[in-house]
Chains A and B, each alone.
Chain A
Amino acid sequence: MNDQLKYMTGQVAKGTMTRREFVGRAAALGVTAAVANSMLAGNAQAAAHEAPVRGGSLKIGSSGGESTNTLDPALTASEVPLDNLRHLYETLVEVDPSGSVEPRMAESYEASADAKTWAFKIRKGIQFHNGKDMTPEDVLKTMQRHSNEDSQSGALGIMRGISGMKVDGDNFIVELEVGNADLPYLMADYHLMIQPDGGMDNPGAGIGTGPYTLEVDEPGVRHGFRRNENYWDADNRGFTDYNEVLVLNDATARTAALQSGQVNMINRVDPKVAALLDRAPNLSVKSVSGRGHYVFIAHIDTAPFDNNDLRMALKYAINREEMVDKILRGYGSIGNDMPINASYPLFDASIPQREHSIEKAKEFYAKSGHDGSPIILRVADGAFPGAVDAASLFLESAKAAGIPLEIKREPNDGYWSEVWNKQPFCASYWGGRPVQDQMYSTAYLSTADWNDTRWKRPEFDAMLLEARAELDEAKRKAIYSQMGSMLRDEGGLILPMFNDFVDGVANNVGGWIEDPNAELMNNKAPIKCWVKDA
């Protein structure tokens, strides 16, 4: 966030500037209304709290931990390992709550005019937990480990466009095949944690530059972290002496632990109980709208989904409001059959919202000439929370339009390897990405591995590449708007809802701000919050 905005949010917090004024002036600085509002919410909250309190300890009850977890950032895919990563390691840059890039291990960065060559100036005087200095070579080695031919990294996909990397003095240089204005967002990916020697020798050792050092590592049970006395950014992170992440996969166990005061914060509050839980006196439920979405995906190269009229019939048949009400219990917002919402930078709010319409669904279904054979929708409980119920709602509203939808329950076990991205029509979810380019390149580029709707349009690919190298934001926004509309009207993606991140936080936790990037303040709540009565 630039200084002007920082000053203005302070003004609002003090009450000398109104919210409306702030949003207006922020727009003048090129910030969209949605981003301005979320920025304001976060900062106003933070300003309302007293100064950080040092000491004490935070306990985090989190789902998504297993005894099979490792501390290797390359193999991290679930919530508890993510919490662990944020304690121990840091990335070159991060995406901050307002959606802009915040320098961390790199103190600054710049791009060449064609956005093909990027230089990250590496911060000096930072030490790893083992006492070794963090150098540009460590950064280079880290990036190599995630992109070389032996890589097992979850970040391998986003490292593909890189044609060369090198160290030049204090700088780490990245060269791209095609210009990419969003490269810093890619470098903020949580897999790309800087490790000594790139983690080539022992990637799971837990040695990083983060605000906490590893003390206890019992995968699937608990992970304990001691404050790193040597931390470079101690003014902003690492307030408590000791943090503990407890693995509580059972939703009721998590809420009970929070209610009985055994933990200070939990993730994934079940929307069904969120409103009830919020009434408990010693805690509050925090929800923030994010970029994650629950979807039904059809392969547009497979009959009968190769018929756009049929896809349109299905899109009109789904009742989005009902889904947000009944599946998300209001903790979410309706989708528009494109994976982008107002939480993304450069979102075009003028694209019309698709409304539920049985008449139009009937009309398109008749036009499609479908032979009336059952349309099989595969779904499992694990596809997203409430997926089976959502499919039943979809089935009912489709029935009203005369569309012969049929649900096939699949086991959770093996859903992601056997059903998703293999079967022509199924339920799924996406976590969202910090920028539009990344979302589209991950799942809607012709060559993408996870193109789970088989959306293969050369003109779409060309627009994506054009927008990627375009440094003029107005032009980029126009291209993205066109791409979004195209997906909305022709794609195999049926996107009824965007889900909120719903966390539970005890009242003695200070420093909570809204962060739409991921749950628990982008998994950074444990390192950015403090205990008020420590």
Chain B
Amino acid sequence: MHPILKLIAQRLALGLLLLLAASVLIFAGTSILPGDVAQSILGQSATPEALANLRRELGLNDPAVTRYFSWLGGVLQGDLGTALTNGRDIAESLGGRLKNTLFLAFWAAAISVPLAIFLGLLAVRYKDRWPDKLISAVTLTTISIPEFMIGYVLIYWVAIKWRMFPSVAIINDSMTLGAKLNAIAIPVMVLTLVVLAHMMRMTRAAILNVMQSAYIETAELKGLGMLKIIRKHAFPNAIAPIVNVVMLNLAYLVVGVVVVEVVFAYPGMGQYLVDHVSKRDVPVVQACGLIFAAVYIGLNLIADIVSILANPRLRHPK
């Protein structure tokens, strides 16, 4: 077998094992939390009889281990089960949320990744001159401000004062692509500002590191222009660390944006997960946790493979 295929197979198997471990951790974690789903549903209006009735119906009287394995059995057959709180099919309601999360993450990434890399290259080109300093100052400022604050500031100016884009980013299937993009405009701006600095700085650092090498000097001596050197000689050699940072940020865009979702009432997975954690709805928390873990593991896998492919020494091991 080709060494790279073997490596991918190994990583995939390890990933599956990690997912299993994650599901055990999530299950144990939600079981430790105070209160159960019956209490959370009925809240302050819980009477002992109503609690007992609800617990019996939801099967909460079974031991935890039994509940975990019956859930695992379902998942292995592709059945995520139904939510304890409202009896809806988890795969169905989660599917819509996941689609929304990926939609927002895709557009934020589509704008921020090229922009970050471009700005990084620009900063290298004008190293220690005003464009470099300006880019660093602005992106470091936006990454230092909490994302909800950026959200509120943009809402105030863009949505309330200028009335350019809506402040509520609720989207649904009946909307056209244009309407959806209009709705998510401000959240995409916020996310772009939040992830820009990290990727930009890494691009800048990685390329500057390569720029110290002898072959760059050679390229300079044979009379190549600065941007061309960066594009043809420096960037391909700096790609591994950049891809790693890009993947980490993509993972953040998928699993870490709950605060932005709340501020813009965006129907993504983060809010969905938080609601179900606070209601102790274990099957839903498990399903969300699995997806989030899978996204992280998958993106890291891609980052590893890309860095191997980009490096001939790793591509052809002895």
Contacts and interface: CB of A to CB of B under 8 A. Distances in A.
Contacts of A414: 33-35
B159 interface: yes
Interface string A240-264: 0000001111101100110111110
Given A69-B86, A253-B168, A260-B159, A77 B267 contact: no
A250 B48 CA distance: 32
Contact of B42 (A61, A75, A218, A413): A75
Interface stretch (B50-58, B109-117, B223-231, B233-241): B50-58
Contacts of A263: 168
B281 interface: yes
Interface string A216-235: 10111110000000000000
Given A66-B275, A70-B87, A449 B265 contact: no
Interface in A120-166: 149-154, 156-157
Contact of B265 (A149, A247, A417): A247
A67 interface: yes
B219 interface: no
A261 B166 CA distance: 9
Q: DSSP majority for the A interface?
A: loop
B50 A204 contact: no
Interface in B172-225: 172
B166 A262 contact: yes
Contacts of A373: none
Nearest to B93: A67
B152 interface: yes
Interface in A201-220: 204, 216, 218-220
Contact of B40 (A67, A69, A417): A417
A75 B264 contact: no
A413 B168 contact: no
Contacts, number: 134
Nearest to B158: A260
A109 interface: no
B168 A204 contact: no
A250 B263 contact: yes
Contact of A260 (B53, B160, B170, B281): B160
B72 interface: no
Contacts of B96: 218
A449 B45 CA distance: 9
A266 B36 CA distance: 31
Contact of B170 (A69, A152, A222, A250): A222
Contacts of A152: 42, 50, 53-54, 57
A68 B85 contact: yes
Contact of A252 (B43, B44, B263): B263
Interface residues of A, number: 46
A460 interface: no
B167 A253 contact: yes
Contacts of A417: 34-35, 39-40
Contact of B33 (A220, A250, A413): A413
Contacts of B276: 67-68
A416 B44 contact: yes
Q: Which of B54, B152, B170 counts the most A-chain CB atoms under 10 A from its CB?
A: B170
A414 B43 CA distance: 10
A306 to B, nearest CB: 25
A218 B271 contact: no
B91 interface: no
Contacts of A150: 53
B252 interface: no
Contacts of A249: 262, 265
Nearest to A77: B43
A218 B275 CA distance: 14
Given A67-B275, A153-B50, A450 B172 contact: no
A185 interface: no
B60 interface: no
Interface string B244-283: 0000000000000000001111010001100110110100
Contacts of B35: 414, 416-418
A223 to B, nearest CB: 11
Nearest to B267: A221
A218 B272 contact: no
A1 B297 CA distance: 65
Given A66-B279, A67-B93, A221 B170 contact: yes
Nearest to B273: A67
Contacts of B278: 66, 413
A316 interface: no
A118 interface: no
A218 B265 contact: no
A416 B43 contact: yes
Contacts of A262: 166-168
Contact of B83 (A68, A250, A260, A420): A68
A75 B50 CA distance: 10
A262 B158 CA distance: 14
Given A246-B168, A416-B44, A420-B44, A256 B57 contact: no
Contacts of A77: 41-45
Given A220-B271, A414-B33, A450-B44, A256 B159 contact: yes
A411 to B, nearest CB: 9
A151 B172 contact: no
Given A263-B168, A417-B34, A253 B262 contact: yes
B126 interface: no
Interface string A68-80: 1110000101100
14 contacts: A67-B97, A68-B41, A68-B281, A77-B41, A152-B54, A157-B45, A204-B86, A216-B172, A219-B93, A220-B271, A260-B163, A414-B33, A417-B35, A417-B39
Interface of A: 61, 66-70, 75, 77-78, 149-154, 156-157, 204, 216, 218-222, 246-250, 252-253, 256-257, 259-263, 413-414, 416-418, 420, 449-450
Interface of B: 33-35, 39-50, 53-54, 57, 83, 85-88, 93, 96-97, 152, 155-156, 159-160, 163, 166-168, 170, 172, 262-265, 267, 271-272, 275-276, 278-279, 281
Closest 10 CB pairs of A and B: A417-B35, A414-B34, A68-B85, A154-B45, A70-B86, A66-B275, A221-B267, A256-B167, A67-B275, A77-B43
Given A68-B276, A151-B53, A153-B50, 5 more contacts: A68-B279, A248-B168, A252-B263, A253-B262, A450-B44
